[in-house]
């Protein structure tokens, strides 16, 4: 087995490993020595993180996306700076515990000088992607590892850091390096976009379906047409490395002038010819800086309205904001009712496509016999019962706007193939139609099922998974959010009441905070709508008696199942509840009785216990 795995590694890597072993020996290391387990203090690590702020900010969401693809494989992801210092790591708990024993954690240095031959250090030394498997590590203590690392270059071609996936050597997968390389390219492209946000960016490829993917070339020019930067794909397609490219201009590389390309900004891909004679398709991004600024009315952000104090939601919104308008698909995970469509609609309203349509399709609610015609549309006479003039499908209706495919994990496999073709070619063919219709939309998908698991079981196409999984975010369930009170009041104000202000009693909030909320926001909305409807005209606060009876009964059942403290007596618990209610209502026994749903006589009796 060991020989088979070794044979699977690239033969060219053996020379890299051999050279690294020779360097390790010159550093005075020997294979049986104890590794360097020194780790920076929290304050020292914070300083290093600040020095690599841009790298960390753009790498972190990519790392989380990568982890979603390799979770439960007994592995971890590490980000280092150019010296090999691990800035951040995440991974499976069981493997992280083992990695801690060899100081494979934030604050440790994994250069060759410290650890001998290892993927991180050897990648830094060789400035190329490296896999180091098992006993290829110089130190025997690290032989249980398999590591795949890729260098991350800054927009000027300097080494910025390394992204690495490390796991148990018994779980080696050949596809791991491909995933790490994709992640490295994503980080580099993000750094380019952030560094040259006011440049003229040309996105190009010989095949138009690859524009907007990691395969596209990205070249950035200043307003005089001089090249500022080019990503790895652009260097490959142009056949020139970044250093010599810096002396080139837009005219010498693409045969067009800068004004012509700026005029094409935002338009569909146009055909150009490279200096080599190769034809490519290209789109242009350019955001001009205003010569002077005139104050404009503030536009209310829909995404901002979703942030009511929960750190998890704030992080999700921050990550989503960075990719809006960049033709990157978004995959939203989370339990049923956690707010996936709310997030999708907020993304649409905050995007440049806000004037276009938002088309939502629940792939789980449509019968399998109808979902194809609903998505792709149909031509006149395509099938018995079809509308006389045919019908445009949901995909075509989303042209110029946003297509939201909810519960995409429930889409039949046969239709997954058709959807993949639409996403690749950006055209849709109606059933029974002879003409393909071009489409342009932002894609947002959602699922309460883990798509990676569906791929493993053969229930979801892996190639489609990578098409829809550009940025992956998972909404926290309502019971885990720290902003429940603010979320309740926000929903009450925006969805459940007409124009009058309605409050909520503290007893109700206490009830809400104990509830598991299996239906999340969908359940909360129903509870608040019903409670609001039960208010009389003179009432302005929701109390327990206004809540749906089945909800209160469900809470009673949950409370009955909760284990009691061994030394707690039922009478003491009842007395405490009565005392708390009376204190809340300022000594008003009648109000306390109403809140607890008992008579005043019961209140007095409990107080005498």
14-71: pLDDT as tens digits: 899 999 999 999 999 999 988 777 888 877 887 888 788 889 888 988 898 888 888 8
Dmax of the chain from CA atoms?
96
Residues 313 and 398 in one domain: yes
Q: Give the number of domains in the chain.
A: 4
Evaluate whether residue 543 is within a structural domain: yes
Structural domain ending residue among the three candidates 181, 210, 240: 181
Q: Which residues of 265-295 are buried (b: 16+ CB within 10 A; e: fewer)?
A: eeeebbebebeeeeebbbbbbbeeeeeeeee
Residues 9 and 144 in one domain: yes
Which residue shows structure tokens 């905070």? 513
Residues 269 and 308 in one domain: no
Evaluate whether residue 494 is within a structural domain: no
Evaluate whether residue 485 is within a structural domain: no
Question: Beta strand 279-285 with 442-447: parallel, antiparallel or unpaired?
Answer: unpaired
Window from 197-206, 512-521, 572-581 with minimum mean pLDDT:
572-581
Evaluate whether residue 291 is within a structural domain: no
Q: Is the pLDDT of residue 212 over 50?
A: yes
Residues 201 and 177 in one domain: no
Closest by CA to 544, choosing from 530, 563, 558, 557, is 530
Residues 119 and 207 in one domain: no
Evaluate whether residue 488 is within a structural domain: no
Residues 274 and 347 in one domain: no
Tell me which residue range forms the domain holding 530.
500-607
Evaluate whether residue 177 is within a structural domain: yes
Evaluate whether residue 353 is within a structural domain: yes
Which residues, other chains included, contact 303 with Cβ-Cβ below 8 Å and sequence gap of 6+? 317, 320, 321, 346, 347, 350
pLDDT in tens, 116-164: 999 999 999 999 999 999 999 999 999 999 999 999 999 989 999 999 9
Residues 436 and 343 in one domain: yes
Where residue 68 sits, what CATH number does that domain have? 3.30.450.40
- Which is higher by pLDDT, 372 or 87? 87
Residues 103 and 138 in one domain: yes
């Amino acid at each position: 087995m060991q020989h088979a795995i070794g044979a699977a590694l690239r033969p060219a890597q053996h020379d890299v490993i051999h050279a690294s072993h020779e360097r390790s020996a010159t550093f005075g290391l020997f294979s049986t020595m104890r590794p360097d387990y020194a780790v920076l203090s929290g304050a020292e690590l914070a300083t290093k993180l600040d020095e690599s702020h841009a790298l960390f900010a753009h790498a972190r969401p990519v790392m989380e996306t990568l982890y979603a693809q390799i979770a439960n494989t007994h592995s971890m992801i590490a980000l280092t700076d150019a010296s090999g210092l691990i800035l951040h790591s995440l991974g499976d708990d069981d493997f992280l515990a083992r990695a801690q024993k060899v100081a494979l954690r934030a604050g440790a240095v994994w250069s060759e000088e410290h650890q001998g031959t290892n993927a991180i250090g050897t990648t830094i030394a060789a400035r190329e992607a490296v896999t180091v498997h098992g006993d290829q590590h110089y130190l025997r203590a690290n032989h249980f590892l398999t590591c795949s690392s890729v260098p991350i270059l800054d927009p000027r071609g300097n080494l910025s850091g390394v992204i690495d996936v490390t796991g148990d050597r018994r779980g080696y997968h050949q596809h791991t390096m491909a995933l790490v390389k994709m992640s490295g390219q994503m980080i580099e492209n993000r750094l380019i976009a952030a560094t040259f946000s006011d440049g003229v960016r040309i996105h190009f490829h010989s095949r138009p379906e690859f524009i907007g993917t990691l395969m596209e070339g990205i070249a950035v020019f200043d307003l005089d047409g001089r090249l500022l930067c080019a990503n790895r794909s652009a260097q490959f397609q142009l056949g020139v490395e970044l250093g010599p490219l810096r002396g080139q201009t837009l005219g010498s590389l693409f045969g067009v002038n800068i004004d012509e390309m700026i005029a094409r900004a935002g338009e569909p891909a146009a055909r150009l010819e490279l200096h080599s004679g190769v034809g490519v398709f290209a789109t242009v991004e350019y955001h001009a800086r205003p010569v002077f600024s005139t104050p404009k009315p503030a536009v209310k952000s829909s995404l901002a309205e979703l942030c009511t104090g929960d750190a998890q939601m704030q992080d999700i919104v921050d990550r989503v904001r960075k990719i809006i308008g960049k033709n990157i698909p978004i995959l939203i995970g989370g339990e049923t009712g956690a707010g996936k469509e709310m997030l999708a609609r907020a993304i649409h309203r905050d995007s440049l496509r806000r004037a276009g349509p938002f088309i939502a399709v629940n792939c789980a609610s449509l019968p399998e016999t109808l979902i194809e015609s609903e998505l792709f549309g149909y031509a006149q006479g395509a099938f018995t019962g079809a509308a006389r003039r045919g019908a445009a499908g949901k995909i075509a209706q989303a042209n110029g706007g946003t297509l939201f495919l909810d519960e995409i994990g429930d889409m039949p496999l046969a239709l997954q193939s058709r959807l993949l073709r639409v996403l690749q070619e950006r055209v849709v063919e109606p059933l029974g139609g002879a003409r393909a219709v071009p489409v342009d939309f932002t894609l947002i998908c959602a699922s309460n099922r883990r798509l990676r698991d569906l791929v493993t079981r053969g229930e979801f196409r892996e190639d489609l998974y990578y098409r829809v999984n550009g940025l992956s975010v998972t909404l926290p369930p309502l019971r885990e959010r720290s902003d429940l009170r603010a979320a309740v009041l926000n929903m009450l104000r925006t969805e459940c009441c007409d124009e009058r202000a309605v409050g909520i009693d503290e007893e109700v909030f206490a009830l809400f905070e104990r509830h598991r909320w299996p239906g999340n926001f969908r359940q909360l909305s129903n509870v608040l709508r019903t409670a609001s409807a039960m208010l009389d005209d003179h009432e302005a606060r929701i109390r327990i008696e206004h809540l749906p009876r089945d909800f209160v009964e469900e809470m009673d059942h949950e409370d009955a199942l909760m284990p009691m403290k061994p030394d707690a007596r039922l009478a003491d618990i009842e007395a405490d509840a009565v005392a708390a209610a009376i204190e809340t209502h300022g000594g008003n026994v009648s109000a306390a009785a109403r809140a607890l749903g008992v008579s005043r006589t019961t209140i007095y009796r409990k107080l005498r216990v």
